[in-house]
A = this chain, B = another copy of it.
Amino acid sequence: MSDALTVINQYACFNGTVGFYRHASQVCNCEMRFAVFVPPQAKQASVPVLYYLSGLTCTEENFTTKAGAQRYAAEYGLMLVAPDTSPRGEDVPDAEDAWDFGKGAGFYVDATESPWNQHYHMYSYVVDELPTLIHANFPVQPDRTGIFGHSMGGHGALICGLKHPDRYRSISAFAPISAPSQCQWGQKAFSGYLGTDRAAWQDYDATELIKRGARIERAILIDQGTEDTFLAQQQLLPEVFAAACEQAGQPVTLRMQPGYDHSYYFIATFIGDHIQHHAAALT
């Protein structure tokens, strides 16, 4: 492991290793943390890698402790990488009293508006800097990469995957913010980080990307709980995204899961299906 990376903690888990790491991020201009699950298969050979992007208020820990993903990643031989959801530290500006903007809410964009444009570059962090660091320090096959996420992180997975079909072979999402330009969370984040010119938003809106021709070969898998309060509040709009996909000929599987909400109990229930979806594309 290079000097660029510092181990915070490592734990044996399903015959592999869960590790938490920190490093000086150039693009976010601060120290960043992420978690990795290295499956047992990586002791013998390089393995495919699957990135997970978390939702509002989360860090690299939520998915790692609550999703129950390691069991399946160990079964299929996939590495899991879970970054934090925003830049961190005392030098990083925050929105006081807001849990849906600022720290914990980077929204996977490269901010252009001051003061956010000094640190809030989660898009470039996720698609460029973090993979470069992973490829240099872990036994992965860079050409076998998938991406998934939850809520704000589902939005992140959709846009990263759709903007880079050359880098990501497979995409899936749990309850993603699917048309951020059309919901309050997205409008608040985009106007704050990107400014009020909506033309700049389109590059980070999965539904708009599909309308403008973005495609990925394999079907996108989306699970959405029917009792998710944020679905009722029109923050997620998966049906808007699915309709855009259908019109554009992008294969998508949107599964409405009766009774499920927005929590990690929902994610844990279907994480096995998602990892299987990615394994089918990556292994």
Q: Which stretch of A7-15, A52-60, A239-247 is in the interface?
A: A7-15
- Of A18, A225, A268, chain B has the most CB atoms within 10 Å of the CB of A268
Residues of B within 8 A of A11 (CB): 261, 263, 265-266
Whether the pair A12, B71 counts as a contact (CB closer than 8 A) is no
Residues of B within 8 A of A71 (CB): 68, 71, 268, 272
In the assembled complex, A143 has its CB within 8 A of some CB on chain B: no
In the assembled complex, A260 has its CB within 8 A of some CB on chain B: yes
In the assembled complex, A253 has its CB within 8 A of some CB on chain B: no
Q: How far is the CB of A268 from chain B (nearest CB, A)?
A: 7
**0/1 string, A100-138, CB within 8 A of B gives 1:** 000000000000000000000000000000000000000
Given contacts A65-B65, A68-B68, A71-B68, contact A268 B12 (CB under 8 A): no
Residues of B within 8 A of A196 (CB): none
In the assembled complex, A264 has its CB within 8 A of some CB on chain B: yes
Q: How far is the CB of A172 from chain B (nearest CB, A)?
A: 19
**0/1 string, A42-84, CB within 8 A of B gives 1:** 0000000000000000000000011010110000000000000
Residues of B within 8 A of A18 (CB): 265
Interface SS, A side: mixed
**0/1 string, A226-237, CB within 8 A of B gives 1:** 010000000000
CB < 8 Å neighbour of A13 from B12, B13, B268? B268
Q: How far is the CB of A12 from chain B (nearest CB, A)?
A: 4
Whether the pair A261, B12 counts as a contact (CB closer than 8 A) is yes
In the assembled complex, A184 has its CB within 8 A of some CB on chain B: no
Whether the pair A268, B227 counts as a contact (CB closer than 8 A) is no
> With the chains together, A15 CA to B273 CA distance in Å?
14
Given contacts A66-B66, A68-B268, contact A225 B12 (CB under 8 A): yes
The list of the 5 closest CB pairs from A to B, nearest first, reads A68-B68, A13-B265, A12-B259, A11-B265, A12-B260
**15 A-B residue contacts at CB 8 Å?**
A11-B263, A12-B227, A12-B259, A13-B265, A14-B268, A14-B269, A18-B265, A65-B65, A65-B66, A65-B264, A66-B66, A68-B71, A68-B268, A71-B268, A71-B272
